[in-house]
Structure 1
Amino acid sequence: MRITEVSQSPGNITYWVLPGPRVLEEETFGTPDDPEMLFRPKLKAAQQAGGPPAVPDTLKSLPFLVGIPEKARTVSDDGTWVFDKPTAFSNNARIINGQFETTMRDVVREDTPGKPGNTPDTASFEAQFNDPAGNEYRVVLDHVVKPPFPGYETQGGVFTEDFLHGNTGTGTPLMPKQYTYAAWWGLGELYINGEKVDDHRVMHLMTTEVVRNRDYNLVFSDDLPLGADERHIRNQEHHTHLMMPPVRGVPGKGPVFDPVPTAFELPNGKKQPFLHIMFEQDELSSREPTRS
């Protein structure tokens, strides 16, 4: 077993990520003439897997969790290949106040058979932060799960010392392939301005190598690892991502598409349907427990 503790104290740099497009990197998505990381095979795998019944419909609503449909890929006038929908993986972010603590206990290195919540891996987590309009949020993890998406390999729901995202097959391919010190997937509660607004929210936390550059742009797999002068904070070698997608865990169905009920209004008059919070000055420690 490995125990990993990560935290960030109040007063350190935290970002709220806003919706925006994402350029499709060749390493993961191929080229317009030879596309890779397609969505249709992933959907077919989900339909044949016999997992929670909600999974195929959820992937139809949120295909970027596993791949990108060809019809959702656009080549711009300058030749850039983009997924031009408003994703949670944009270069547009705002500085906010935030803090968190998490402890992860990685017991197994492979996903165990059974339901998503059937795992010996455990984690605790609580975060507080505000949105750009000043609304106050608290997120609390209830328990770890193994996401039942095709191709995901999550080491039992707590994941340590390996690569996620990009072309790994685990995590959205819209993020670059990045070395991950520790991560978890789980279900938990969301509080806004002191009131509980939802539970059973799907959430994902990972502490990784830095994947945003000095301009706070999300880089690509072949840009990594970033050198000290390329990072957003020169002497910070890792940062922590908290992602709450528009998905809720429903007993008997599994992960169901359901926008996160945030309080933050976007320029189009709609509420932001996801949370993507970046803690840029985290502290990390990892150890094996002492045997008595």
Structure 2
Amino acid sequence: MMHKTGFKAAMCLATLLFAMEASAAGGDKSGPLINKAVIQQEAGKTVYWVLPGPRQLSKEVFGTPDNPKRTLKPILAEVNKPPIRELLQKLPVLVAAPEPARKTNEAETEYTVFSQPTPFSDKARPLPPDQSGFFRTTLLDRVAEDQPGKPGNTPDEVQLESWFHDPAGNKYRLEFDHVVQPPFPGYETQGGVFIDGWLHGTTGTGSPLMPKEYTRAAWWGVVDLYINDEKVDTKVAHLMTTEVVRKRDYSLALDEEMPLESSERHIPDQEHHTHLIVMPIKPTPQGPVFEPVNTAFELSNGKNQPFIHMMFEEDSIVEWQLGSQ
């Protein structure tokens, strides 16, 4: 059974992802290096374009109808800044799964799915090898905790080279601008570049609609988006290299199913994969603004997909240093 109060199903862009206050690159880059990671995937290997769809709900993360967890109201109570409060009300899945969009079983004793379309779905299309994608990113982690002040106040740095296609064959390229720290209650991102820890699920950092997953490296930042060699957008993006959370049928695992055994993984011999999401969040001097990503890929409803979620399934960790000076 689904409760419908206050929710609009049309495209459901309000169920998408992370948003940050806009800021200049900022931050003193001269601090000592704590951690470093270099990750890449060569062209011609397995890449998926993730489509919007519903998401199964983990009992461990979201509780039961009699004892719900990760609801929006108590999280909003921790927010003092009106722009961030408004953002979380419009994009609640940044931190929660609001109860009105949770379906239950017939007996109303368990949650079944979050019915609004999100990027954390089981629906995805594999891309042909000659139109898959490539990325290489370098993450420089100089602080162990988020820094006070504006989200741009961080000495962490990121370098990125990337290109990929959508299922219609359009070619995308991202240019990285600067690191940001998500200004949400409970988020702990190590200054916007995160190396060696846990994200999503019950951690409080990242959408709880993703399972809790061991993360080798992750960043949050602002990127310029090019499609077919034309600059079309500037948005907030998030990349993370994690243990494998996609099963053999490409469904997204629940927290209760993690960690996946080798035989359960989409590619059994692959121990990690990389998620890259471009979010429907436009940074402005006044703060984050909800705005669909200007993709070129048309969905079955005749509208263009409002976010980008790429899965690079055969990535390589080129370099991974902890505690370097």
TM-score, normalised on structure 1?
0.94
Contact 1:141–1:189 (Cα < 8 Å) also in 2: yes
Match in the other structure for 1:32 = 65
Worse overlay, 143-152 or 170-179? 143-152
Check whether the contact 1:54–1:256 (CA below 8 A) recurs between aligned residues. Answer: no
Asked if residue 41 in structure 1 is aligned to residue 74 in structure 2, the reply is: yes
| Matching residue's letter, 2:190 | Q
Q: What value does the CA root-mean-square deviation take over the aligned residues?
A: 1.5
The residue identity in structure 1 corresponding to 2:103 is T
Shift of 1:252: 2.6
Structure 1 counterpart of 2:243: 209
User: Counterpart of 1:45 in 2: which secondary structure?
Assistant: coil
* 1:264 to 2:297 alignment: yes
What letter matches 1:249 in structure 2?
Answer: P
Deviation at 1:23, TM superposition (A): 1.1
Which residue is 2:29 aligned to? none
1:176 paired residue number: 211
Answer yes or no: is the 8 Å Cα contact 2:102–2:113 preserved in 1: yes
* Cα displacement string for residues 49-97 of structure 1 (whole angstroms, at most 9, x for unaligned residues): x3xx532222222100000111121114486521100110110100120
Whether the 8 Å CA contact 1:129–1:138 is kept in 2: the answer is yes
**Scaled by the length of structure 2, what TM-score is found?**
0.85
Tell me the alpha carbon deviations over residues 174-206 of structure 1, each in whole angstroms, 9 at most, x when there is no partner.
Answer: 00000000000001100011100012x100000
User: Which residue of 307, 312, 315 corresponds with 1:274?
Assistant: 307
Measure, in 1, the Cα distance between the counterparts of 2:313 and 2:106: 34
Partner in structure 2 of residue 161 of structure 1 = 196
Q: What's 1:85 paired with?
A: 116
Verify: 1:66 aligned to 2:95, yes or no: yes
- C-alpha contact (below 8 Å) 1:129/1:136 kept by paired residues: yes
Q: State yes or no: 1:140 paired with 2:169.
A: no
Mark the runs of 5 or more structure 2 residues left unpaired by the alignment.
Answer: 1-33
Q: Could you tell me the percent identity over the aligned residues?
A: 55
Distance 1:80 1:72, change over 3 A: closer
| Aligned residues between the structures | 285
Letter aligned with residue 94 of structure 2? L
The residue aligned with 1:119 is: 154
Question: The residue matched to 2:74 in structure 1 has which SS?
Answer: helix
Letter in 2 for 1:198: D
| 1:147-192 deviations in Å (ceiling 9; x for gaps) | 1112111010000111000011100000000000000000110001
Partner of 1:104: 139
Alignment partners' CA distance in 2, 1:55 and 1:198:
22
